[in-house]
Structure 1
Amino acid sequence: MDNTNALRALLIGVESDGAKDLFQLLESLGMVLIPRSASEGSLYSLIESLQPDLIFVDANSPARDTLEHAVSAHQDLPQPVVSADGDLQISLRRLAGDIGISLYAGDGVTPALLQALIDLTISHCHSIEVLRREVALAMMAQPRDVAVH
């Protein structure tokens, strides 16, 4: 696969199992993922050298506050994704609140692509959680004295 036109996404401190599943999905769709620890050097230098199209950061990480400061001082860096128009704003609140991820995007990422990525992220994480609950319930309901072959 030719990744010269692929979106590059920097992942900062996003390490939950649900996030790992999601990022495997995004990678399978052709996105280039660049995982980094939240404590890995200067965020500004990291972002400037990697030049990602998107940044996913743990919403509860101190790195998110540092990132907010860096991008507010440098308008050429990916900016927080905010929108006052309808569905995207609701989706962003769900992304941050339900999944614990804040999203930043560069100028080249269209609103339609952002909406699709956010919807995919929410849908995927919701589906994984539903499956985990179903498996847990099925395991609780399984009789213990019956051998499984």
Structure 2
Amino acid sequence: MEDRLNMQKNIKKNIKGNNYKKLLNWVSESSTVFSFVIRKDVGISENSIMLIERLTDFIIDSYPTNEWLSNEIVDSPIMGHIYFYELNKTTKNILLEVSNSLFDWGDDNLTDLPEDIAFYDEKRHPVLYVNGHENYAIVNVSSVKEYFKLTFL
């Protein structure tokens, strides 16, 4: 039985290209759900609309909010909408098609993709979450084996 580390690894550099693909492959081994946010104050790009349409068959939940894993909008009316999707081979491949960089999931107005992608395990514990426009991400590692799989970061 492996020891549980429950350790966080901070990512402050943008993961791109082949390492981004490795990261998505790694996260898909332990995640079953992913989410991202659309903010009303930022607007939504045509590419984000098309992405949401492509993922329609895989939606689990969606609701308006001012707070998610990597951000909170204080002293404002509800400004965001979070979407939760099933993570499987099809949805992972869609994510790889639309982005080649971890911090592409930032301000929709700047990157053409929704904000702050996050991945969750079967118990909805966060595995990886991003604040793209602030250029940081957090990875939660729960075992020594998982930690050593992240040497490419």
Q: TM-score, normalised by structure 2?
A: 0.29
Tell me: higher relative CO, structure 1 or 2? Use CA pairs within 8 A at least 6 residues apart: 2
For the pair shown, the structure with the greater C-alpha radius of gyration is 1
